[in-house]
Amino acid sequence: MTRQRKTATELRSHRWFGRDDLRSFGHRSRAKQSGFSEEDLAGKPVIAILNTWSDANPCHAHFRLRAEEVKRGIWQAGGFPMEIPLLTLGETLMKPTTMLYRNLLAMEAEEALRSYPADGAVLLGGCDKTVPALLMGATSANLPAIFVPAGAMLRGNWRGPGSPSSSRERPSLLRRASGKNKIGNIKFFYAFQKINKRGKIVFKIIQRFFNRLSYRFVCRKMYNTTYIFILLKHCKRFIKIF
């Protein structure tokens, strides 16, 4: 069963641009002040482009150009594009972790779609926390949306073989820090012993456990351990779970 296409008066954006009242007059005049004519707005669905581009986010470096291409497609399809910049969560530069700001971006996306005259949305995102944040925001706003992923980043090359950012970064860091083939001598773990007395006991137990494991096994199978330690560093109350 096909759904009937909405008429101009049924569009959500009609409340902004189509009504014969003072508020709509102000919205139309400001749009014309930006260079758009009445023909550009009349009866066309407004499609919001939620853009998370930023110089601080290498994963989204191409979104400035991609947004312009999306705009052209919306114009050609008979819509009115409206680009709205949002918070950018750059995994590579944001500290301590982008996870702290995922829900903030989701709320921002939702409120941007609610407060502006959007009939639909195109979501531009790619980093780990940006994808769920944009999808959660658009879903909560209950508007039709299309997600445009940033795509995979090109891997680097160092001394011949390819060097993906995660699979060789941590092993290289651990090898440099330890100077040996055993994980227990790495000074990295001692930084977390300053949390509290209970934390010291816990990390001594973990360190002894690591001493019995080979370096390669730890690097290959236990990446998540690093994230656990970082979490404990920034959230001292998590020590209570032990």
Domain-wise residue ranges, the chain: 45-149, 162-241
3-state DSSP assignment of residue 167: coil
The rounded distance, in Å, linking the Cα atoms of 240 and 242 is: 5
The rounded distance, in Å, linking the Cα atoms of 177 and 213 is: 17
pLDDT in tens, the chain (242 residues): 567 778 888 999 999 999 999 999 999 999 999 899 888 888 899 999 999 999 999 889 899 999 999 999 999 999 999 999 999 998 888 988 899 999 999 999 999 999 999 999 999 999 889 999 999 999 999 999 999 999 887 776 666 666 655 656 666 666 666 655 444 444 444 444 444 445 555 555 555 555 554 433 433 334 344 434 444 444 444 344 43
- Contact between residue 121 and residue 113 where contact means Cβ atoms under 8 Å apart: yes
CATH 3.40.50.10310 corresponds to the domain 45-149: yes
